Amino acid sequence: MRTEELITQLSRGLKPVHRLPSPLAMLGLWCLFCAGVIGAALLVSGLRADFAAWLMDGFDLYHLMSAALVALTAGYAAFQLALPDRDQRWALLPVPAVVGWLVTMGWGCLEDLARLGPEALQLGISLPCLGFIIGLGVPMTVAIVFLTRHAALLRPVPVAALGGLSAAAFASLGLTLVHELNAAVMVLVWHGIAVLVVTALGALAGPLLMQRAAV
């Protein structure tokens, strides 16, 4: 087929399209959705028992804020990268927030170590914790993959991975409100593993889902 004929065919029967909202507007939509999901999780599980005391604790507040920052920057980067003409360097946007997140968790570990001694390093297995982030993060990843489905033919993998990271960070945020963990090491390890799993799932399965959603 000649290219000129293809153009004729493409323009014949052209349908109007709704222009995509800006990345910022998409981020707003995404945040609203996540807030809804976390709200629903709170309704089901209830706030953590030590919520008031926990609010006073500076470390957890930083931890919370850095997780929120990861969620927002990764989400925004995903919406930017989903558009054809945006710079690839958007992918680096969440890096400082991720580093900050790790630092707050690492700092928490050191504090625990100073307070409790070697006992703090004892690693319990917190499957509910892992399950919560993955259980919440995966459906949320599906949602952001749907929101960025137009990236299917452009750069699906980084977009889906960033979407997964944003979803996992939101899920981890939700978990912090629901579940109390007594040692920062546990937070670091279990949140870290869960976030990695969700991000990797996003990167692996996201592009396929995008193709499906876009068709």
Partner 1 sequence: MPTPPVTGQALSGPASGRAGAAEDDRVTSDLVWDGLAGMSEAEERPARDARWSQMMARAQAGDARAYDALLRECLPLLRAICRRRLSDPAEAEDAVQDTLLTLHRVRATYDPARPFRPWIAAIAERRALDRGRGVARGLSRHTVLEAAEHVGAEGDAERRLDAAELRAAVGELPASQRTALQLTKIEALSLAEASARSGMSMGALKVATHRAIQTLRRKIGKEP
Q: By the criterion CB under 8 A, which residues form the site for partner 1?
A: 1, 3-20, 22, 82-85, 87, 150, 152-155, 211, 214-215
Give, as one character, the DSSP assignment of residue 194: H
Q: How far is the CB of 87 from partner 1 (least distance, A)?
A: 5
Q: Smaller CB distance to partner 1: residue 65 or 213?
A: 213
How near is the Cβ of 128 to partner 1 at its closest, in Å? 40
Say how far residue 105 (Cα) sits from the centre of its chain.
Answer: 17
Distance CA 77, CA 33 (A): 17
Q: Minimal distance in Å, beta carbon 15 to partner 1? A: 5
Shorter beta-carbon distance to partner 1: residue 14 or 44:
14
DSSP string, 125-181: --HHHHHHHHHHHHHHHHHHHHHTGGGTTT-HHHHHHHHHHHHHHHHHHHHHHH---
- Please name the residues in contact with 194: beta carbons below 8 A apart, sequence gap of 6 or more: 129, 130, 132, 133, 134, 137, 168, 171, 172
Using the minimum distance from each CB to partner 1, give the nearer residue, 14 or 56. 14
Q: Does residue 174 contact residue 41 with C-beta atoms inside 8 Å?
A: yes
Nearer to partner 1, 152 or 171 (CB): 152
Cβ 149 vs Cβ 179: under 8 Å: no
Minimum gap (Å) between residue 18 Cβ and partner 1:
6
Distances (CA, A) of 2 to 6, 10, 45, 115: 6, 12, 61, 74
Q: Decide whether 46 or 84 has the Cβ nearer to partner 1.
A: 84
Q: How far is the CB of 164 from partner 1 (least distance, A)?
A: 21
Q: Closer to partner 1 at the Cβ: 11 or 58? A: 11
Q: How far is the CB of 77 from partner 1 (least distance, A)?
A: 15
What are the C-alpha distances in Å from 212 to residues 15, 82, 149, 150, 151? 21, 16, 9, 11, 12
- As given in the structure block, the two tokens for residue 143 are 């949602």
